Amino acid sequence: MTLSSWRFPYPRSLAGQLIGLLLIALFVAQAISIWIFHDERRIALIEVARDNILMRAVSIAKLIDETPKPLHDRVLEASSSRFTAFWIGEAPVVRETGDDGTETRLQQILSNRFSPPRDVRLDLIDPRGRQPDSAVSTDDDGNDEQPKRPSWRGPSNGKHGGRLRKIMHGHIDLALSIPLSDGSFLNVETSYRPPPRTLMPLLVQLGLMALAVILIVGFAVRRVSRPLRDLANAAERLGRGEDVSHLEAAGPMEVRTVTEAFNSMQDRLTRFVRDRTRMLAAISHDLRTPITSLRLRAEFIEDDENREKIIETLEEMGQMTEATLAFARDEAAKEEARPTDLGSLLESLAGDQQDLGHQATVNEADRLVITCRPVALKRAFRNLIENGIRYGEAVEIDLSRDGKDAVITISDQGPGIPEDRLADVFEPFVRLEESRSEETGGIGLGLAITRSIIHAHGGTIELKNGDDRGLKAVVRLPIGG
């Protein structure tokens, strides 16, 4: 398969297309949302953690002022955590509050938490991800090597501060110094980083939403597709001439309307065909009496030549009437459709011709079973085979499968039909044989009846001239109908 002939495989069913489109819309919407709001949750978590640490530092400073000095270490040990260190030092870890508007606002809020207000010193980084320019690199002993802002950052005295810097490798997100009542400072350093980003929650969320879309759309489309599928099957069976019971109106309102319209159309078509068939049968039956009367009167004509011609014409009219009446009776019989082995049906027709001394052979490539009205279909193929033997003396029948169709080709070795008359022979009472003799040309209803039967089975029939001579009748019938 070449690149130019390759086509993107897209679902052809209604459910598949709806699910595909909704899933595409879902993933595109999620991607746009992530692109726009990817940092909002992280910023919110950082701000909540920061505010919590600041309020906790104020509470610990008040607690230290009210607690005996021997308990200070235990209070600080209990307050510190893996990413937050509290310790008391003689000097503040933050020499002066940063000049950022947020830092100034927070410094005022924290100062006002004390009575009287204290000179709280604060430095923090931008929660949108700016690296902390206040971070200090440390050696293995926890001592400062090269402070990045020595103008405001003091020494990290105290065992807790040194331990935190080792754990966080110098990534300090917030530094705070609160003066205590004895002149020392409560120093705080923390890294309130949220947990690392992971796609797993997002993938789980998308998976659950995709599953919900598939289940809901699948259920909704099933309610629509099931009655539509029943409607399509009923329409196909009706097109083959089978009796179809009324369909139950189910599904959404639009589908119910279509089903009810189909039921009404089926009633009108069935009534129309039945009335026309009855009328045709009545006319053919009523014509028999005047034709018989005219033939009796023709016997009294003294002119022998005119008498023979009139009687010959009346006999031809009688044959046409009988053929029309037989066709109407077959249509009115409403034969039930049933599975039929097409090869066996053709073999039996060829055997009948062989018993009469004619040459007829069947070449069966595949064993094909179709749902049909076997008596009517047998009549159609008999007309084709008898026409081939009448004009070509021998026929060859080929049976094969082409996709979902059974293909029957009946070939003879006769003179063929002019190309401009191939379609005309299917019209009622049209004969190409100019002698008007029934022995050589029939009455002109055989192919018309054949085409009607083939079409009633949902098939097609086409006549083709052979390459050298002869005529081919190609019949296509649906398999498994």
Q: How many whole angstroms separate alpha carbon 308 and alpha carbon 243? A: 47
Cβ-Cβ contacts under 8 Å for 113 (sequence gap 6 or more)? 58
pTM of this structure: 0.47
Short-list 395, 381, 388, 372, CA closest to 346: 381
pLDDT at 10: 65
For residue range 143-200, list pLDDT tens digits in order.
443 333 333 333 444 444 444 444 444 456 788 889 998 889 998 888 766 666 666 7
pLDDT of 273 > 50? The answer is yes
Confidence check: pLDDT of 357 > 60: yes
State the Rg of the chain over Cα.
Answer: 49
- C-alpha pair distances (Å), 203 with each of 27, 34, 161, 207, 215: 11, 12, 39, 6, 18
Burial of 114 (C-beta count, 10 Å sphere; 0-12/13-18/19+): middle
Share above pLDDT 70 across residues of the chain, in percent, rounded to a whole number: 77
User: Of residues 268 and 153, which shows the higher confidence score?
Assistant: 268
pLDDT in tens, 377-430: 888 899 899 888 888 878 999 999 888 889 999 998 888 887 777 777 777 666
Q: What is the pLDDT of residues 39-57, one digit of tens each?
A: 666 677 777 878 888 888 8
pLDDT score of 85: 86
Distance, CA of 184 to CA of 450 (rounded, Å): 114
Residue pair 144/138 in contact (Cβ under 8 Å)? The answer is yes
**Secondary structure (3-state) at 82:** coil
Q: Taking Cα atoms as reference points, which of 476, 10, 452 lies closest to residue 239?
A: 452
DSSP string, 154-207: ----SHHHHHHHHHHTT--SEEEEEE-TTS-EEEEEE--PPPPP-SHHHHHHHH
Residue 426 sits at the vertex; the CA angle it makes with 379 and 430, to the nearest 5 degrees, is: 105
Q: How high is the pLDDT of residue 195? A: 60
Mean pLDDT computed over every residue of the chain: 76
**Using CA atoms, how far apart are residues 260 and 235, in angstroms rounded to an integer?**
13
Judged on CB neighbours under 10 Å (0-12, 13-18, 19+), 451 is buried
- pLDDT per residue as tens digits for the range 218-246: 888 877 788 888 888 888 777 766 677 88
Q: Which two tokens stand for residue 117?
A: 């207000």
Domains and CATH numbers, the chain: 41-190 (no CATH), 336-478 (3.30.565.10)
Give the whole-angstrom CA distance, residue 162 versus residue 452. Answer: 100
The mean pLDDT value for 431-446 works out to 52
Query: CA-to-CA distance for 50 and 387, rounded, in angstroms?
Result: 99
Decide: 104 and 97 in contact? Cβ < 8 Å.
Answer: yes
Q: What is the pLDDT of residue 281?
A: 74
Q: Compute how many other C-beta atoms are within 10 angstroms of the C-beta atom of residue 89.
A: 18
The residues with which 187 forms a beta bridge, in sequence order, are 87, 177
Least confident of 112-116, 273-277, 311-315, 426-430: 426-430
Q: How many Cα atoms are found within 13 Å in the side-chain-facing hemisphere of 7?
A: 4
Cα–Cα distance measured from residue 187 to residue 165, given in angstroms and rounded to the nearest whole number: 13
Q: Which helix (H) or strand (E) holds 87?
A: strand 84-89
Q: Which of 364, 368, 395, 365 is nearest to 381 (CA)?
A: 395
User: Using 50, 70 and 90 to split pLDDT, how confident is the model at 440?
Assistant: very low
Q: What integer pLDDT is reported at residue 474 of this predicted model?
A: 92
Q: Give me the pLDDT at residue 328, please.
A: 65
Strands 369-372 and 359-364: unpaired
Confidence (pLDDT) at 196: 63
Cα of first residue to Cα of last residue in the chain, in angstroms, is 33
Residue-wise pLDDT tens digits, 277-293: 777 777 777 777 888 88
Question: Please, what's the largest Cα pairwise distance for the chain?
Answer: 157
Residue 434 has pLDDT above 70, yes or no: no
pLDDT at 25 over 80: yes
What pLDDT score does 80 carry?
83
Model confidence band, residue 130 (pLDDT cutoffs 50, 70, 90): very low
CA 34 to chain centre: 28
One-letter amino acid at 39 equals D
Least-confidence region, from 79-83, 127-131, 445-449: 127-131
